[in-house]
Structure 1
Amino acid sequence: MKLKQLTITLFSFCVAAFSATTAAEAASFSVIADGLDNAGGLSFGPDGSLYVTEAGIGGNGNCVPPPSGQGDSLCYGTTGAVTKIENGKTKRILTGLSSLALPDGTGASGPRDIQFDATGLPYILLGYGANPAFGDRLGDTELGRIITADFQTNSWTSIADLANYELVNNPDGSDLNSNPLSFLIDGDQLVAVDAGANDLLSVKTNGSDLQAIAVFPPDILTNPVFPPSGSPSNEPAQVPSPSETPSLQFPSQAVPSGVTKGPDGAYYVSQFTGFPFPEGGAKIYRVGADGQLTIYADGFTQLTDLEFDSAGNLYALQYANESAWKGNLEGSLIKIAADGTRTTILSGNELESPSAFTLGADGAIYITNRGDRPGQGQVLRIENIQSVPEPNSALGALTLGVLGLVCLRKSSRSKPLVNKLLAFR
């Protein structure tokens, strides 16, 4: 994917930084599900059971080019599923859903999130991870859509086609790409983030009034750290050669990865940073009722999900604590109090490339672990959380009442490795 050369305009913004005590929390966890294929979002159903999506492993069907235009093609199959976890047992209760993946089953797009409405009806979001203009090569699939499902009959009904919305409207005006990753149900509205399209969408539960309510700005990285020359990459053109001087300013497109509703009624969106995945470069945005973006918290690395608890604490899930190209995919779960205090609940300790989480009514936290690979996905149950103070540090978090002005920046759009990495969520 070639970078478009655009004029770069930077506007300064003001944020309030708070000094606070960070803490680590001693927590224990157990594995309550294993062997999942590219596990994604999870949610408790009306029966009290936990349901988790599996994007599948693609298949031997028709193929489409990857978003970057380089590397192996993504091939279609019907290996997507929804799995039910009940009384320590797992069972796939919805199968045959669309899946798109690389030949080895990685980089999969398919079922990515599940939510239940007030009546107990399940809604399922499917990713796509490619240019929707190639959709005719795959035929009529559920990719890039929100569907409702009947677990008893193993059937489903399409509600909204988010990938087609990108094809027709392309709200951010850049490369055509759609990869919905996460959504929530807010009354009669379904609100979803599309990482490929780089926007936040809403649609009524009956499928009407599909629209973009926010588009997320690109980043300009200053003195970024690149992988060593010759490092494996699906965007080798972006890895500087030994004879090149790395750019002091580098355009990078971070993408929205998760969405939740805050106690103030606004939507909060996590950010997965683009190549070269700068450590501490990810933000959490607040999206107001007017669609305006402000930065709620920053200083994270490759976020995949977020959720508020009943006390107003915001939890954020980090896919990796280091730049993804370093190969260390140990992640973290971080709690952010309303006053800006941050607490690391779990970091490393077998938590790696986590894709999503949910807060249980039992006080435990449930995380899909190793969500970027076939046959190795897990669901972890984290409990016995106790704070252990750590030294003070300055935080870049904002309270709900103190909001910074987002930096509106124009740059070229680069979504190289992000689509492969974000296919997990």
Structure 2
Amino acid sequence: MKLKSLTITILTFCVAAFSGMKAASAASFSVIADGLYNAGGLSFGPDGDLYVTEAGIGGSGACVPPASGQGDSLCYGTSGAVTKIENGKTERILTGLPSIALPDGTGAGGPRDIQFDPKGKPYVLIGYGANPAFRDRNLGYTDLGKIIAPDFKTNSWTSVADLANYELANNPDGGDVGSNPLGFVIDGNKLVAADAGANDLLRFNTVSNNLQAIVAFPQDILTNPIFPPSDTPSNEPAQVPSQDEVVRSPTAGLLLSETLRERPSQFATQPVPSSAAKGPDGAYYVSQFTGFPFAEGGAKIYRVGADGTPTVFADGFTQLTDLQFDSAGNLYALQYANQSAWKGNFDGSVIKIAPNGTRTILLSGNGLESPSALTIGSDGAVYVTNRGDRPGLGQVLKIENTKSIPEPDSALGVLAIAALGVGWLHKKKELATKPPINTVVALK
């Protein structure tokens, strides 16, 4: 059973809220971009305009097997792009970037995040989502699984760091080999990336050209996990333990359950780091969306200090896709859905975590569906890529009026999030009619 491999194929996420958090009563949002293909990360450039990545829809080129070994192959194309949003207009300013996806364009690996360094130089993180051994062998030379430095004026780029090859050569967590970098942050001359497939946090120094793992996150042992029903369309049968399967500790090799007569009472799951942010204290904060079976309440936000040791900053989450600090030290966490995705409801949430630990839901549902990334503007608004797993239906939302939202009186509120990311689930769900550009939705 290749649990790590399954996590590599998951590019979608989901959520379920507990009591104890106050919902936003004054926030509203507008749609400032539409028609994006597997929209990913977004960031403001030195020109004040907003840049967003599109992972694309793969293509008709060579293919690689999916990481889990189940289902259709991921096929290569050059449909990835970076789009610029300027004065309400969108323009693809970098095209032809590598992309792999399922035949219907879902489950895409391609441009996943974009950041600008202190001098205004852009960097783009290219996802992958499969075993790195197949990349060069099947696809030839490609920048999948790398960080690149683009030149928007010439529609060209150079390769900077090969994260997928680092996983192939080093495999820091000692599990199945796989790479799926999803998000990164720039810290001076260092690019710090979260590789969801490798389960580690990597640091690349742009001066010394040195790439190394900061930390490999440990597996979690779940007690009495809840598995998706066997007839759930999103369930991958190979990942559900059978009657005769034995589950062992990922760290000590200890037997956790004898030959199974039923599904196990203890189960090892992947950590799956999804993105990173630098905190006011100089530490890195890493979001987690956990691996199969995506236990609600099992995910954490890790704090990784100078010594590289991960400690839990906040828990009670299930699946998180992105993190971002504002200038006041508030941490914003993004969740893919308010229920486990196999239930078919993809309403997502934006949660604000104040410096004292209190949590507030700024936006939940009401048009926020399967969001993939967020950033904070100089205007104080929160910008989110919406419907990030739906080719041709991706959006960028601008969430405003967040400053007037009161914080809850208690810090006991927690958010439980759960995720199950399989693109073909969306075929079974009727999509809401897309709101027109600049439509404003007020939350009650």
Q: TM-score normalised by the shorter chain: which range applies?
A: 0.7 to 0.9
Could you tell me how far apart the structure 1 residues matched to 2:113 and 2:208 are?
A: 17
Equivalent position SS for 2:66: coil
- Answering whether residue 197 of structure 2 is matched by residue 196 of structure 1, we say yes
Could you tell me how far apart the structure 2 residues matched to 1:22 and 1:282 are?
A: 18
Decide whether aligned partners of structure 1 residues 153 and 132 sit closer, same or farther in structure 2, where only a CA change above 3 A counts.
Answer: same
Could you tell me how far apart the structure 2 residues matched to 1:393 and 1:156 are?
A: 46
Could you tell me how far apart the structure 1 residues matched to 2:407 and 2:3 are?
A: 45
Partner of 1:15: none
Could you list the per-position Cα deviations for residues 349-397 of structure 1 after superposition, in whole angstroms to 9, with x for gaps in the alignment?
1111100000000111100001012001000000012325768572469
- Answering whether residue 409 of structure 2 is matched by residue 394 of structure 1, we say no
Cα contact 2:358–2:407 (8 A) shared by 1? no
Partner of 1:23: 22
Decide whether aligned partners of structure 1 residues 389 and 294 sit closer, same or farther in structure 2, where only a CA change above 3 A counts.
Answer: closer
Deviation of 1:48 (Å): 0.7
Cα contact 1:43–1:51 (8 A) shared by 2? yes
Partner of 2:380: 363
Partner of 2:113: 113
Cα contact 1:58–1:100 (8 A) shared by 2? yes
RMSD, matched Cα? 2.3
Could you tell me how far apart the structure 1 residues matched to 2:97 and 2:281 are?
A: 36
Decide whether aligned partners of structure 1 residues 395 and 234 sit closer, same or farther in structure 2, where only a CA change above 3 A counts.
Answer: closer
Deviation of 1:245 (Å): 2.2
Partner of 1:88: 88
Partner of 1:283: 300
Decide whether aligned partners of structure 1 residues 166 and 375 sit closer, same or farther in structure 2, where only a CA change above 3 A counts.
Answer: same
Partner of 1:220: 221
Partner of 1:339: 356
Deviation of 1:325 (Å): 1.9
Partner of 2:162: 161
Could you tell me the TM-score, scaled by structure 2's length? Answer: 0.83
Could you tell me how far apart the structure 1 residues matched to 2:361 and 2:398 are?
A: 16
Could you tell me how far apart the structure 1 residues matched to 2:63 and 2:2 are?
A: 22
Could you tell me how far apart the structure 1 residues matched to 2:361 and 2:3 are?
A: 36
Partner of 1:62: 62
Cα contact 2:342–2:420 (8 A) shared by 1? no
Decide whether aligned partners of structure 1 residues 420 and 133 sit closer, same or farther in structure 2, where only a CA change above 3 A counts.
Answer: farther
Deviation of 1:283 (Å): 0.5
Which segments of 5 or more consecutive residues in structure 1 lack a partner in the other structure? 5-19, 398-415
Could you tell me how far apart the structure 2 residues matched to 1:93 and 1:127 are?
A: 19
Aligned with 1:273 (options 290, 307, 326): 290
Q: Percent identity of the aligned residues?
A: 73
Could you tell me how far apart the structure 1 residues matched to 2:189 and 2:85 are?
A: 27
Cα contact 1:301–1:321 (8 A) shared by 2? no
Partner of 2:344: 327
Question: After superposition, where does 1:398-413 map in structure 2 within 5 Å?
Answer: none
- Answering whether residue 77 of structure 2 is matched by residue 71 of structure 1, we say no
Partner of 1:292: 309
Equivalent position SS for 1:225: coil
Q: Which amino acid aligns with 1:342?
A: R
- Answering whether residue 376 of structure 2 is matched by residue 377 of structure 1, we say no
Q: Which amino acid aligns with 1:165?
A: Y
Could you tell me how far apart the structure 2 residues matched to 1:82 and 1:57 are?
A: 14
Cα contact 1:38–1:108 (8 A) shared by 2? yes
Decide whether aligned partners of structure 1 residues 394 and 104 sit closer, same or farther in structure 2, where only a CA change above 3 A counts.
Answer: same
Could you tell me how far apart the structure 1 residues matched to 2:421 and 2:20 are?
A: 33
Deviation of 1:264 (Å): 0.7
Equivalent position SS for 1:257: strand
Could you tell me how far apart the structure 2 residues matched to 1:353 and 1:3 are?
A: 23
Could you tell me how far apart the structure 2 residues matched to 1:310 and 1:214 are?
A: 27
Could you tell me the TM-score, scaled by structure 1's length? Answer: 0.87
- Answering whether residue 167 of structure 2 is matched by residue 149 of structure 1, we say no
Cα contact 1:274–1:418 (8 A) shared by 2? no
Could you list the per-position Cα deviations for residues 180-208 of structure 1 after superposition, in whole angstroms to 9, with x for gaps in the alignment?
11111111111101000000000112471
Cα contact 2:3–2:270 (8 A) shared by 1? no
Partner of 1:401: none
Q: Once structures 1 and 2 are overlaid, which stretch shifts more, 234-243 or 43-52?
A: 234-243
Could you tell me how far apart the structure 1 residues matched to 2:288 and 2:376 are?
A: 20
- Answering whether residue 348 of structure 2 is matched by residue 349 of structure 1, we say no
Could you list the per-position Cα deviations for residues 81-101 of structure 1 after superposition, in whole angstroms to 9, with x for gaps in the alignment?
000000110000000000010
Decide whether aligned partners of structure 1 residues 3 and 296 sit closer, same or farther in structure 2, where only a CA change above 3 A counts.
Answer: closer
Deviation of 1:330 (Å): 1.1
Cα contact 2:55–2:80 (8 A) shared by 1? yes
Q: What count of residue pairs does the alignment treat as equivalent?
A: 388
Could you list the per-position Cα deviations for residues 244-278 of structure 1 after superposition, in whole angstroms to 9, with x for gaps in the alignment?
62221121113000100011110000001212212
Partner of 1:318: 335
Equivalent position SS for 1:387: coil
Which segments of 5 or more consecutive residues in structure 2 lack a partner in the other structure? 5-18, 244-259, 425-444
Cα contact 1:203–1:211 (8 A) shared by 2? yes
Deviation of 1:238 (Å): 3.2
Q: Once structures 1 and 2 are overlaid, which stretch shifts more, 229-238 or 310-319?
A: 229-238
Could you tell me how far apart the structure 1 residues matched to 2:411 and 2:192 are?
A: 35
Partner of 1:104: 104
Q: Once structures 1 and 2 are overlaid, which stretch shifts more, 147-156 or 225-234?
A: 225-234
Partner of 1:42: 42
Could you list the per-position Cα deviations for residues 131-161 of structure 1 after superposition, in whole angstroms to 9, with x for gaps in the alignment?
0000121011110000101111100000010
Deviation of 1:235 (Å): 1.9
Could you tell me how far apart the structure 2 residues matched to 1:179 and 1:350 are?
A: 28
